[in-house]
Amino acid sequence: MKFKINRKFFLEKLNIVSRAISVFSPLPALSGICIQVSNDLITLTGSDSNISIRSSFLASKENQLVIESTGSIIIESKYILEIIRKMDSELVTVDLIDFSKVCISNLNGQFNLNGIQFNEYPNIDFSVPNTKIQLKSEDLKLIYSQTAFACSDKDTRPVLNGVNFKANGNTLCCSGTDSYRLARKQIELNDSYDFNITIPNKSLSEVVKSLSDANDFVDLFIDSKKVQFVFDHTIIQSRLIDGTFPDIDRIIPTTEISHMLVSSHELAGVIDRTNFIRNEKIHLIKLECTESETHIKTSSSEIGNSDEILSSCQYSGENIRLSCNGTYMLEAIRALNCNRVKLEFAGLMKPIKISNPDDCSVLMIVVPVRSYD
Amino acid sequence: MKFKINRKFFLEKLNIVSRAISVFSPLPALSGICIQVSNDLITLTGSDSNISIRSSFLASKENQLVIESTGSIIIESKYILEIIRKMDSELVTVDLIDFSKVCISNLNGQFNLNGIQFNEYPNIDFSVPNTKIQLKSEDLKLIYSQTAFACSDKDTRPVLNGVNFKANGNTLCCSGTDSYRLARKQIELNDSYDFNITIPNKSLSEVVKSLSDANDFVDLFIDSKKVQFVFDHTIIQSRLIDGTFPDIDRIIPTTEISHMLVSSHELAGVIDRTNFIRNEKIHLIKLECTESETHIKTSSSEIGNSDEILSSCQYSGENIRLSCNGTYMLEAIRALNCNRVKLEFAGLMKPIKISNPDDCSVLMIVVPVRSYD
């Protein structure tokens, strides 16, 4: 195996596949990047067995690839990345100099790395699932930024560690929840679909990080076990999370007793300022709303207390006093990323709806907390 | 105690004094900022008992200070910093509302923080030492960046945790060493002095971080126990490290068997590229120099090996092969911060001198390592 390639191009591809690699991999081969060189194609693979990334490329003017001989090898990801990143030549040569040693060289120097033979790499099934759906990269990024933050990071209910993608007819409904809050983003599709899958939060994050501005669209291939995201000769494949995702439509209140329109900037600022007051590590805020004045208060016997008035707030409906997790509220407002937010209240212990009054495709829910003062 | 002040100005002063505060302070009062308000002056103090910072200010057009009543209080540093940073008004009011509760407010809201009564603050002696020396801020920053990195971070010999400032006549000689390497910077003084003190690395670091571009000069006040850095109404006071600093003049070789002139950029690049090969966590490089070629090699049975030629190198003198810590060499080259570096060799196990051929005020020394291959 021997080839010459543009260093920056090679580094970019190595970086993409290395995202799948975990430093804690129990299998030594999985801490490496698998390089397969055929007559005209190079394929790089990285995997932690839950998520696998494969990138393939032919010779092109951009990558200046010249393949001299074929072969395969696994190289420790962190070492090859560091060398290729730090070398300063335009081209590098990669050469398998015996069964498991790779020589990376340019005019001034050479780096010999101990590799692992290709036959120790696990067999990863990259077969393509049947259901294909195309999304704009923009939409996929929005789905991620507006839902993934609400996923659970605890191990108690694995299905809550992912974002649920549910297609019903022409609507794709993506939701994240940790059972105390919920974030939902809806996208209109060109065709009619019917699936209900939950994609691990971490996998979605790697997909979004790997998307460059040049990728306008992403193809998703879905079956009941896995999903593939395909763009720019790169396949990011993730297992799905088993289990039934909660029926979120039942959680969303359908009636209201009052609502509030307020500047997102002001509301986020007021909540953020109370963040230092925590009760047993929880950032608890109290909303006291009347049509004449809305207060946000906090208090902790140890640290102190605060009381701030929302000056831009328009509130109408019944007076309400309730407590909720300020961090959840703040993350929801920031994920909405709009000028004004609407808060709808359905009652004292009923979920609070938080939304953008000018965009009904996104909805946030935060459940109030019982407070005893 | 009650005053109104420009929020940004107040935040800046709080930030400066908070640098001295350690989150691990055993004395609760020392986790706070001490605020003392007299008829016309506000004094802020932060301390971890080794380093103490005091900043005082009168009313000015810039700070918009209006003092309504006098008094003193200690407020938990992280809470007051977070509130003042996140508030969005131009002015804030600080008001002691009972013996130990402080109200920070603006038009929209108020934050009440539990404080600690002033009489619990330890008495810190800010008396001014006799010896005064003025340094350009530029020079003090250079002293720090060119010597402090070489200090030891181990507890075994406390005197090596600081930078030694030794004045002898009109020359100030500043040195840092961990006994395996040395960095020395010399400054010419306008007057004649005679002192020999060792300032903790951490204290120097806080001084340099606190210097703004507006501070052209720093006054140092020195005695045998402490040093004060004074600029812009701020006093940063540090205890000195006891113990005799090694006599560094005895370490610097006076003869040479060979020397090398090389591009700093190239040498740093070559050494940095070998950084991934470590033997028992040490980054060991081997220099092999002849007048025709200079190689930098590394090897590790576990990871692999490398061999690179320095293309810009001019070497003259005896052939030499020696090993040294690549990280030490790299930090010395970076601290010199010049286009070309000169390496002088005195023999196989003799210290290597690393210097800027165009500036004799800075000198770096790295001691070779015995290697058995």
pLDDT digits (tens, 9 = 90+) for B67-78: 999 999 999 999
Q: Are B288 and B308 found together in one domain?
A: yes
Note whether residue A268 is domain-resident: yes
Domain boundary among B193, B228, B249: B249
pLDDT value, residue A373 = 60
CATH number at residue A88: 3.10.150.10
Q: Are A186 and A267 found together in one domain?
A: no
Consecutive H or E run containing A107? none
CB B111 within 8 A of CB B204: no
Q: How confident is the model at residue A99 (pLDDT cuts 50, 70, 90)?
A: confident
Note whether residue B343 is domain-resident: yes
Q: What is the mean pLDDT of residues B203-217?
A: 92
pLDDT value, residue B214 = 83
Q: How confident is the model at residue A23 (pLDDT cuts 50, 70, 90)?
A: confident
CA distance A115 to chain B (A): 9
Q: What is the mean pLDDT of residues A165-192?
A: 96
Measured CA to CA in angstroms, residue B192 lies from B41, B131, B147, B230, B240 at distances of 36, 11, 23, 20, 22
What is the three-class DSSP state of A250?
helix
What backbone phi and psi angles, to 5 degrees, belong to B67?
-95, 125
Sheet containing B66-69: give its strands across: A320-325, A284-289, A294-300, A304-309, B109-114, B101-105, B91-98, B2-6, B66-69
Q: Are A237 and A292 found together in one domain?
A: no
Q: What is the mean pLDDT of residues A66-75?
A: 97
Note whether residue B221 is domain-resident: yes
Contact B83 A269 (CB under 8 A): no
CA distance A84 to A15: 10
Q: Are B153 and B241 found together in one domain?
A: yes
Which of A85, A100, A305, A312 best tests the B interface by mutation, with the highest count of B CBs <10 A? A305
Query: What letter does residue A152 receive in the DSSP assignment?
Result: -
What is the three-class DSSP state of A84?
helix
Domain boundary among A203, A225, A249: A249
pLDDT value, residue A350 = 94
| Number of structural domains found in chain A | 3
Q: Are A238 and A326 found together in one domain?
A: no
Q: How confident is the model at residue A372 (pLDDT cuts 50, 70, 90)?
A: low
Spell out a b/e string for B186-195, using b for 16 or more CB atoms within 10 Å of the CB, else e: ebebeeebeb
User: Which residues from chain B sit within 8 angstroms of residue A76, using beta carbons?
Assistant: 303
pLDDT value, residue B342 = 97
Q: What is the mean pLDDT of residues A327-356?
A: 96
Q: Are B170 and B183 found together in one domain?
A: yes
Q: What is the mean pLDDT of residues A263-287?
A: 91
Which residue among A302, A304, A309 places its CB closest to the CB of B109? Answer: A309
Cβ-in-10-Å burial (0-12, 13-18, 19+) of B329 comes to buried
Contact B276 A79 (CB under 8 A): yes
Sheet containing B131-136: give its strands across: B116-117, B71-76, B32-37, B41-47, B51-58, B234-239, B226-231, B217-222, B131-136
Query: What letter does residue A49 receive in the DSSP assignment?
Result: S
CB B369 within 8 A of CB B325: yes
User: Which region among A300-304, A329-333, B83-87 has the lowest average model confidence (pLDDT)?
Assistant: A300-304
pLDDT value, residue B203 = 96
pLDDT value, residue B197 = 97
pLDDT value, residue A279 = 78
User: Which residues from chain A sit within 8 angstroms of residue B306, using beta carbons?
Assistant: 109-112
Note whether residue A372 is domain-resident: no
Note whether residue A163 is domain-resident: yes
Which residue among B114, B273, B303 places its CB closest to the CB of A87? Answer: B273
pLDDT value, residue A371 = 77
Residue B304 touches partner A, C-beta closer than 8 Å: yes
Q: What is the mean pLDDT of residues B169-177?
A: 96
Q: How confident is the model at residue B24 (pLDDT cuts 50, 70, 90)?
A: confident
Note whether residue B373 is domain-resident: no
For residue B301, pLDDT over 90 is answered with: no
pLDDT value, residue B372 = 64
Q: What is the CA radius of gyration of chain A?
A: 25
Residue A257 touches partner B, C-beta closer than 8 Å: no
Strand partners, B304: A113, B300
Q: Are B106 and B204 found together in one domain?
A: no
For residue A22, pLDDT over 70 is answered with: yes
**Residue by residue, what is the 3-state secondary structure of chain B?**
CEEEEEHHHHHHHHHHHHCCCCCCCCCHHHHEEEEEECCCEEEEEEECCCEEEEEEEECCCCCCCEEEECEEEEEEHHHHHHHHHHCCCCEEEEEEEECCEEEEECCCEEEEEECEEHHHCCCCCCCCCCEEEEEEHHHHHHHHHHHHHHCCCCCCCHHHHEEEEEEEEEEEEEEEECCCEEEEEEEEEEEEEEEEEEEEHHHHHHHHHHCCCCCCEEEEEECCCEEEEEECCEEEEEECCCCCCCCHHHCCCCCCCEEEEEEHHHHHHHHHHCCCCCECCECEEEEEECCCCEEEEEEECCCEEEEEECCCCEEEECCEEEEEEHHHHHHHHHHHCCCEEEEEECCCCCCEEEEECCEEEEEEEECCECCCC
Note whether residue B372 is domain-resident: no
- Round the average pLDDT of chain A to a whole number and report it: 94
Q: What ipTM is given for this predicted complex? A: 0.85
Q: Are B106 and B150 found together in one domain?
A: no
Residue A302 touches partner B, C-beta closer than 8 Å: yes
CB B74 within 8 A of CB B118: yes
Domain boundary among B89, B120, B151: B120
When comparing pLDDT for B248 and A46, which is higher? A46
Contact B82 A112 (CB under 8 A): no
Q: Are B114 and B218 found together in one domain?
A: no
Q: Are B205 and B304 found together in one domain?
A: no
Q: What is the mean pLDDT of residues B312-335?
A: 96
Give the domain range for residue B293: 252-366
Q: Are B167 and B274 found together in one domain?
A: no
The number of residues in chain A equals 373
Contact A111 B272 (CB under 8 A): no
Q: Which of residues 108-127 of B touch A (CB under 8 A)?
A: 108-114
Contact A111 B86 (CB under 8 A): no
Size of interface A-B (CB pairs under 8 A): 82
Sheet containing A258-263: give its strands across: A162-177, A181-200, A359-366, A352-356, A340-345, A258-263, A314-317
Q: What is the mean pLDDT of residues B250-277?
A: 94
Please name the amino acid found at residue A2: K
Using the structure block, give the residue that is written with the tokens 């030594």.
A28
Consecutive H or E run containing A235? strand A234-239
Within 10 A of B173 (CB to CB), how many other CB atoms are there? 18
CA distance A110 to chain B (A): 5
Q: How confident is the model at residue B277 (pLDDT cuts 50, 70, 90)?
A: confident
For residue B373, pLDDT over 80 is answered with: no
What is the three-class DSSP state of A104?
strand
For A242-251, what is each residue's pLDDT tens digit? 999 999 888 8
pLDDT value, residue B260 = 96
Spell out a b/e string for B126-163, using b for 16 or more CB atoms within 10 Å of the CB, else e: eeeeeeebebebebbebbbebbbbbbbeeeeeebbbbb
Share of chain B above pLDDT 90, in %: 90
Residue A89 touches partner B, C-beta closer than 8 Å: no
Note whether residue A126 is domain-resident: no
pLDDT value, residue B151 = 97
Q: What is the mean pLDDT of residues A263-278?
A: 93
Contact B307 A110 (CB under 8 A): yes
Q: Are B141 and B240 found together in one domain?
A: yes
CATH number at residue B275: 3.70.10.10
Contact A83 B276 (CB under 8 A): yes
For A206-232, what is each residue's pLDDT tens digit? 999 999 888 899 999 999 999 999 998
What is the three-class DSSP state of A330?
helix
> What count of Cα atoms within 13 Å lies in the side-chain half-sphere of residue A85?
14
The two three-digit tokens of residue A337, written as one number: 């990323």
Please name the amino acid found at residue A200: P
CB A282 within 8 A of CB A329: no
pLDDT value, residue A136 = 96
